[in-house]
Chain A
Amino acid sequence: MSATSPSRSEQVPLAESAPREARESAAPAWRRSPPRWHGVAEALIKTTALVAIVAIVLIFVFIAAETLPLFTSHEVRAEVTPSTMAWKQTWGEAAARWSWQPASEIPKYSIAPLIIGSLKITVVAVLVGAPLGILAAIFTSQVAPRWLREILKPTIELLAGIPSVVIGVFALLVMATWTHRLFGLEHRLNAVVAGCALSLTIIPLVFTLAEDALSSVPKSFADASLALGASKMHTVLHVMVPAALPGIAAGVVLGFGRALGETMIVVMASGNAALVSWSLGVSTRTITATIAQEMAEVVHGSPHYVVLFALGAVLLLFAFATNVLAMRIVESFRRKRGGS
């Protein structure tokens, strides 16, 4: 933008054509160079824009710094190391088990149950939420008449405005009862309830991105297909959706990342038992819920504290990876589009 606006010094003085007031004053407004504080203010603006970069760097650095004792501190490593976290726990006479019991007399830190729990719930959420979000996006952008589209789009996006604790309460009190009556699963709070509740947070995300992608497919694509005699829905399925696929895929990837990082809904709706089980009907504990429930009672700097930060680091890396992947998908698509 700044490149296109001529700088003051390059401008030709308009001596004769200037308005009378300007000609009469000693130094007309248009000829004065901008006050010095403009330059200072503009430098401040640029500096302020760096806050976002500083913030994200600080987050990475501090989560890493609090995780570091897991690799360096003798005190912490006497109780837990990354390799003991990755394997079964042995203690006393009992057989080795996948146990997460950091507060017991002999603390046990197998992260397998937490990772399995997070994956189970996230997969359920994506399997429920992604199809609903995508289908609703197809309906909104391709099928619905204009007046309905203008109501549907903001309404579905409002779902994103419901705080996650409210969805958590709804899952705990209402959805859990529904699924219990419908499927009669082993535990009242389980991966299905948490996953379905979680899908409510990823539906608006998938919907918005898919709808944007579908709406930005050039109209000529649809016109060409229709002119060749394809039906409306054939065109949608075989022309519009494939053309919008990168946007849709990016939405699903971001939805996966969002679901994995969600905390309050799973704390309230999943039951929170750290079991190693692939069953969807049992009580399930996730990485996020573990941090939320245990951090408050932990002594600063203790092995347990460090382990919880390590779990946070895992989450942060996952979130970063899904973000980068989604951006790559969109960018590669833009390049392809730009070339054609």
Chain B
Amino acid sequence: MRDASLVAATAIASAIVVGMLLVILLDVVRSGASVISGTFLTAAPSGGMQAGGVGPAIFGTAALTILMTVAVVPVGVITAIWLSEYARPDSRLARAVRLAVANLAGVPSIVFGLFGLGFFVQTIGRGLDKAAYGGVATYGKPGLIWAALTLALLTMPVVIVATEEALRAVPRDLRDASLALGATKFQTTFQVVVPQAMGGILTSAILAVSRGAGEVAPILFTGAAYFLVELPTHLNDQFMNLGYHVYVLATQSPDVDKTRPQLYGTVLVLLVLTFLLNVVAVVIRIRTRKALASARA
């Protein structure tokens, strides 16, 4: 009897968790789908944010995540390669890097925002202004590049952990075979191990994009703008962002009911961007694991 109630409790808890996920997704799709149209996806917000669309926010989010990816993927992947292929696992440096990655993953997102403001904008940006722009505020203000770099730091642990996992999943035999044929360590790493782990490395990049596209707290003070007519064209321009736009529509609107369709439409676009990317990453990962398992068997 106690067994049955315990089984029931665990089953109910699982059902609640999956249920909440479904309720959120259904709520957003049901309320947001009717808003989505060509104009909504391309036009700028208008009429006190009660009409128009989210074109600039989509553009800003894309620009931000592309810059972030360019910054984070090479650094993250190379760090993972060093950790998995070169470092001795018990060496002091490898442990320090791992400790740093674990703590980086635990830093609250709003603290990344503060750091981005204090370090990138106020220190690096103002320093650049003094050195190259005669003190005119050019880079010493919130902008695309600073927000992207802040997000790159935030997503770095995601890339490192997922890439390292992918590299470790490559069977040892392949490395041994390559080395036995006379290939160097470097050749083995980049011509055998990395190509084998490409699926996993791609997954890590997708996970980082999905995470970065959805974060709002780190870009609050480093570049996101409430409303802009013009699209960002320079690295130091401010930009609109889907996540920040959701926050603005949900909390700063004078008439909540009238902005609600716009809000749900924006949430749907954001979810499609972030959540679908996540689903893709999970599917790739499951397939890779299955392929590896059957290759080993």
- CA A44 – CA B96 in complex, angstroms? 18
Q: Given that A170-B24, A315-B110 are known contacts, is A165 also in contact with B13, CB under 8 Å in the complex?
A: no
Within 8 Å by CB of A166, from B156, B270, B282, lies B270
Within 8 Å by CB of B156, from A38, A55, A231, A295, lies A55
- CA A41 – CA B114 in complex, angstroms? 34
Tell yes or no: B203 within 8 A of A by CB. no
Chain A contacts of B85 at CB under 8 A? 1
Chain A CB within 10 Å — which of B100, B243, B271 has the most?
Answer: B100
Q: Given that A63-B114, A232-B3 are known contacts, is A139 also in contact with B250, CB under 8 Å in the complex?
A: no
The total of chain B residues at the interface (CB under 8 A) is 90
Q: Given that A158-B278, A292-B220 are known contacts, is A264 also in contact with B20, CB under 8 Å in the complex?
A: no
Chain B contacts of A262 at CB under 8 A? 108-109
Q: Given that A53-B100, A159-B21 are known contacts, is A316 also in contact with B108, CB under 8 Å in the complex?
A: yes
Contact status B2-A292, CB under 8 Å: no
Within 8 Å by CB of B122, from A172, A237, A300, lies A300
Contact status B111-A55, CB under 8 Å: no
**Which secondary structure dominates chain A's binding surface?**
helix
Chain B contacts of A51 at CB under 8 A? 75, 79, 156
Give the shortest distance, in Å, between B117 (CB) and chain A (any CB): 7
Tell yes or no: B199 within 8 A of A by CB. no
Within 8 Å by CB of A158, from B21, B78, B263, lies B21
**Which secondary structure dominates chain B's binding surface?**
helix
Contact status A63-B115, CB under 8 Å: yes
The stretch from B46-54, B179-187, B232-240 touching chain A is B179-187
Contact status A261-B109, CB under 8 Å: yes
Question: Which residue from chain B places its CB closest to the CB of A58 in the assembled complex?
Answer: B119
Chain B contacts of A158 at CB under 8 A? 21, 275, 278-279, 282
Contact status A38-B186, CB under 8 Å: yes
Contacting A at CB under 8 A, from B97-120, are 97, 100-104, 106-115, 117-119
Chain A contacts of B81 at CB under 8 A? 45
Question: Which residue from chain B places its CB closest to the CB of A159 in the assembled complex?
Answer: B21
- CA A264 – CA B3 in complex, angstroms? 40
Q: Given that A165-B214, A292-B217, A320-B103 are known contacts, is A63 also in contact with B243, CB under 8 Å in the complex?
A: no
Give the shortest distance, in Å, between A17 (CB) and chain B (any CB): 12
The stretch from A82-90, A95-103, A148-156, A276-284 touching chain B is A148-156
- CA A309 – CA B119 in complex, angstroms? 12
Tell yes or no: B215 within 8 A of A by CB. yes
Give the shortest distance, in Å, between A94 (CB) and chain B (any CB): 31
Give the shortest distance, in Å, between A241 (CB) and chain B (any CB): 11
Question: Which residue from chain B places its CB closest to the CB of A319 in the assembled complex?
Answer: B106
Q: Given that A163-B274, A295-B221 are known contacts, is A135 also in contact with B251, CB under 8 Å in the complex?
A: no
Tell yes or no: A127 within 8 A of B by CB. no
Contact status A52-B101, CB under 8 Å: yes
Tell yes or no: A219 within 8 A of B by CB. no
Tell yes or no: B9 within 8 A of A by CB. yes
Give the shortest distance, in Å, between B261 (CB) and chain A (any CB): 12
Closest 8 CB pairs of A and B: A261-B108, A163-B214, A161-B278, A135-B13, A139-B10, A30-B182, A49-B82, A233-B3
Contacts A1-B86, A323-B106 aside, 10 further interface pairs with beta carbons under 8 A come to A52-B156, A56-B100, A140-B14, A156-B17, A161-B275, A165-B247, A165-B267, A172-B251, A258-B106, A264-B217
- A/B interface sample: 9 pairs, CB < 8 A: A38-B186, A46-B82, A49-B97, A52-B101, A52-B104, A140-B14, A166-B271, A203-B17, A309-B118
